[in-house]
Amino acid sequence: MPETNTANTRQITHAEAIREALEQAMAEDERVILIGEGVPDPKGIFGTTSGLKERFGASRVFDMPIAENGMTGICIGAAISGLRPVMVHQRIDFTLLCMDQLVNNAAKWRYMFAGQVSVPLVVRAIVGRGWGQGPQHAQSLQGLFAHVPGLKVVMPSSGHDAKGMLLAAIRDDNPVIFIEHRWLHGIADDVPTQPYTVPLDKAAIRRHGKDATVVAFSFMVVETLLAATALAELGIELEVIDARAVRPLDIATVIGSVKNSGVLIVIDTAWKTGGIAGELVASVTETVFGSLRRPPLRIALPDIPAPTSHHLSKDYYPDALHVARAIVSHLNAAVPDTELVSRLYRTTPHDVPQREFRGPF
């Protein structure tokens, strides 16, 4: 399977790219099985599993009972026995029910048995927001999984990366937590038709700039690119890095950028306290403290549970305008707020994705 290849590309959505990756992985390797609550139902996990049961049959694509911990143990056993399971959770919140299996078994098995036994398991977990999701259906828990040695954790933000990283995750001999933001599912991107892989440990520079290095995770890449485009019109050039991987973090790419800009800003979809943004700031500060011209800045969720209320959630999630305002303040830039508002004020309700960004990346 080749690394990233841009031949024969066309625009498809993030969800379609994930579905295509699953279909190609299952066609290539009969050891790949797909399991999860709602996987074979008409909605097909936001369309990412639609039609796969019809093509590959009920012995390889199947629903599961509401028994996350037990079913995760079964998937780990299947992986140890030679299969390559892809387990799907419609919300990352449900993975909390199988933390014992993931942390105490999947993550440690290879280490405990001196590399003689591998656990080639992929756990797809969906994060993101929207009306009525609330505190038990909208959490962004990548930092929790990234804390555990033995787990790889990725958060692709484009359809191209989603397909390539999912294929790479399925082929990987280690357990991989593959986190999708559902607001990305509808964004189109240039995606090659053929199978390809994208490394699970490399960040990508989405925009070059000299005034600050901005590292964003998952859907916050979209909000950051919107903010960066507006700020460029006002004379501020941001270097935007799509982190792509949460564990391992690609510290080298970030350090290379910070050495040029002297400013580090990290934007996460999760809470600020104990999050992966803090880990990235610490790693960069330990390495190139002397290159920083001002203290690093973290932009993340406020430290309260995600609200269900329409009115409370309005100011809970940082959007492009929030990001731009924070960056302007951090850089002490002389940019009138009216200029930011005129370019970045949302034209859609706050609980649905903005129309301004439809890809490609």
| Residues identified as active-site | 68, 137
Judging by beta carbons within 10 Å of its beta carbon (0-12, 13-18, 19+), is residue 173 exposed, middle or buried? middle
- The CA distance from 95 to 102, in Å, is 9
Gap between the Cα atoms of 212 and 196, Å rounded:
32
CA angle, 129 as apex, 128 and 134 as ends, to 5°? 115
Identify which of 110, 140, 95 has the alpha carbon closest to the alpha carbon of residue 302.
140
Q: Phi then psi for 102, rounded to 5 degrees?
A: -70, -45
Neighbours of 150 (CB within 10 A): 18
SS3 track for 190-220:
EEECCCCECCCCCCEEEECCCCEEEEECCCH
Contacts of 202 (CB under 8 A, 6+ apart): 244, 245, 250, 253
The count of other CB atoms within 10 Å of the CB of residue 160 is: 25
In the numeric block, the tokens 């006002």 are attached to: 234
